[in-house]
Amino acid sequence: MPGASRQEIIRRYYQALNRVAKDKGSKDEVYKIELLMKQAKITTDMRSVVPVAVNLAKETNAPTAAMELPDGKIVTGKTTALLGASAAVLLNAVKELGGISDDIHLISPTFIEPIQGLKTGYLGSKNPRLHTDEVLIALSMCAATDPNAKLALEQLPKLRGCELHTSVMLSSVDTNTFKKLGLNLTSEPIYENNRLYH
Reported pTM? 0.92
Residues 93 and 180 in one domain: yes
Domain count, the chain: 2
Q: Which helix (H) or strand (E) holds 42?
A: none
Q: How far is CA 118 from CA 15, 29, 52, 112, 140, in A?
A: 33, 42, 34, 10, 18
Residue range 90-111: mean pLDDT, rounded: 93
Residue 110 — pLDDT band, cuts 50, 70, 90? confident
Q: What is the pLDDT of residue 96?
A: 98
In tens, the pLDDT along 52-63 reads 999 999 999 999
Residues 10 and 57 in one domain: no
Is the predicted pLDDT of residue 198 greater than 60, yes or no? no
Residues 97 and 35 in one domain: no
Segments forming the whole domain that contains residue 5: 1-46
Residues 77 and 152 in one domain: yes
By the 8 A CB rule, do 138 and 111 touch? yes
Is the predicted pLDDT of residue 19 greater than 90, yes or no? yes
In tens, the pLDDT along 65-93 reads 999 999 999 999 999 988 999 999 999 99
Distance from C-alpha of 24 to C-alpha of 38, rounded to nearest angstrom: 24
Alpha helices by DSSP H, listed for the chain, are: 3-21, 27-39, 49-60, 85-98, 109-117, 132-142, 147-153, 172-180
Q: Is 77 exposed, middle or buried (0-12, 13-18, 19+ CB in 10 A)?
A: buried
Q: Is 25 exposed, middle or buried (0-12, 13-18, 19+ CB in 10 A)?
A: middle
Residues 42 and 85 in one domain: no
Residues 18 and 98 in one domain: no
Residues 110 and 34 in one domain: no
Cβ contacts of 167 within 8 Å, gap of 6 or more: 53, 54, 56, 57, 63, 64, 65, 85, 187, 188, 190
By the 8 A CB rule, do 169 and 192 touch? yes
Residues 54 and 15 in one domain: no
Is the predicted pLDDT of residue 197 greater than 50, yes or no? no
Instruction: With H, G, I as helix, E, B as strand and everything else as coil, classify residue 57.
Output: helix
Residues 161 and 184 in one domain: yes
Residues 110 and 27 in one domain: no
Q: Which helix (H) or strand (E) holds 194?
A: none
Distance from C-alpha of 32 to C-alpha of 51, rounded to nearest angstrom: 23
User: Taken in order 76, 82, 84, 89, is the CA torsion positive or negative?
Assistant: negative
Check which CATH number belongs to the domain holding 111 and give it.
Answer: 3.40.140.40
Residue 196 — pLDDT band, cuts 50, 70, 90? very low
Who wins on pLDDT, 195 or 159?
A: 159
Strand order in the sheet with 74-78: 74-78, 64-68, 163-166, 184-187
Residues 134 and 170 in one domain: yes
Distance from C-alpha of 63 to C-alpha of 180, rounded to nearest angstrom: 22
Residue range 115-128: mean pLDDT, rounded: 91
Residues 18 and 106 in one domain: no
Is the predicted pLDDT of residue 195 greater than 50, yes or no? no
